[in-house]
Amino acid sequence: MDMFYFILQNTMFFMIPLLIVALGGMFSERSGVVNIALEGKMVMGAFTGVLFLNIFQNPERVTDHGILLLALLVAMITGIVIALLHAFAAINLKANQIISGIAINMFAPAFAIYVAVFYLHEQHVPFINQFRIASVPLLGDIPILGPLLFQRTYITTYLGFLIFGISAFVLYKTKFGLRLRACGEHPQAADSVGVNVAKVRYAGVLISGALAGMGGLIWIIPISTRFGGSVAGYGFLALAVLIFGAWKPKRILFAAFFFGIMQTVANSFTGIPFLLNLGIPASFYNMAPYIATLILLAFTSKNTQAPKAVGQPYDKGQR
C-alpha cells in the first residue's frame, strides 16, 4: 500500500503543472491563437517566482505558505507580461503565431540565465524548499484518502484541482466561455453578433500566460531547490496533453494524469522495486514519457479536432 501511495503522490507532483499549463494553452487556442510558447512562459514564471523566493524568503519561516502564494502571484504576472507580447504580435500585428511562440521559447531561458548570472553570479537560482505539508489536520487521518491526498503533499496540488474546476465552469457555463469558443471556431460569426474578437483573444492569451507562468513555478517546487533556466521540455509536453485532451478540460485532466504517471516512472523508478529489478537502463525510463507522447499523438491526432480558426489572424473583411 505504501508503494501505491508513493506512485500516486509522485504522479500528482508531475501531473498538476502539466494540467495547469495545458489548461492555459486551452484558453489561448480555444480563442483562436496558437500557443507553442508555453515552454517559454513556464521558464519565465519559474525564474521570477524562484528569484522572488530567493530574495524574500525568511530562513526562519521556511514553511510559510504565504510567501509561496506571493511567489505564485509573481510567476502569474510574469506569464501575463510575456503573453502580452505574444498577443500583440498575433492579434494586432497579425504575425505568424508559430514564429512568435518560438521566439519566446528561445528568449526565455537565455534571459533567465543572463539575469541569474548578473544578479547571483551563478546560473542556478537557489531557494529553500520546505513547503511540503506533512499532514493536513483532520483530513490527513482519513483512511486511504488521507495518506493519498492529504499527507506529504503541497498546497499547489489543491490549487491545480481548483483551477481545473474553475476552467471547466468558465469554458462551458459562462458567457465569456461561449464567446471564447465562438472566436476560436468562427470569429466572423461572433463578430456579427457584437463580440469583440480581439478582446476575447487577448483575454484567452493572457489567461494562458498566467497559468503557464504559475505552472512553471509549481513544476519546480516539489522536485528541486534551485532553478537553472529550464523546465525540461514540460511546456511542449503540456502541448501534447492539450492535443491528446482534445482541448477539453476533462480529457486534459485524464491526459495529464497519464503523462504524470509516465514522468513518475522516468524520475522515480529507483523507488519502485519492480521497475528497478528489471535491470533496464535509466536512459530508457527517461525517454519513456516522450516516446509515449509520440506514439499517442501518432495514433490519436487524426481523430482530434482542433478549433477551426486556431492560428488564423482575424480579418473583419472576411465574412
pLDDT tens track for 5-26: 778 888 898 999 999 999 999 9
Q: Are 209 and 41 in contact (CB under 8 A)?
A: yes
Band (pLDDT 50/70/90 cuts) for residue 60 is low
Phi, psi for 34 (deg, rounded to 5): -65, 135
Average model confidence (pLDDT) across the chain: 90
- Which domains are assigned to the chain? 2-300 (1.10.3470)
C-alpha cell at 60: 526562519
The pLDDT score that the predictor gives to residue 289 is: 81
Are 125 and 227 spatial neighbours (Cβ–Cβ below 8 Å)? yes
Q: Of 179, 255, 201, which is closest to residue 14 (Cα–Cα)?
A: 255
Pairing of the two strands 125-126 and 133-135: unpaired
Please write the tens of the pLDDT for every residue from 237-293: 999 999 999 999 999 999 999 999 888 888 877 777 777 777 778 788 888 888 888
Q: CA–CA separation, 62 vs 314, rounded Å?
A: 48
Segment 25-43 mean pLDDT: 96
Over residues 63-87, the pLDDT tens digits come to 678 899 999 999 999 999 999 999 9
Burial of 246 (0-12, 13-18, 19+ CB in 10 A): middle
pLDDT band at residue 318 using 50, 70 and 90 as cut-offs: low
C-alpha radius of gyration, the chain, whole number: 20
pLDDT(90) > 90: yes
At residue 175, what is the residue type? K
Q: Give mean pLDDT, residues 184-212.
A: 95
Residues found in the chain: 319
Cα 6 from chain centroid? 23
Q: What is the pTM of this model?
A: 0.93
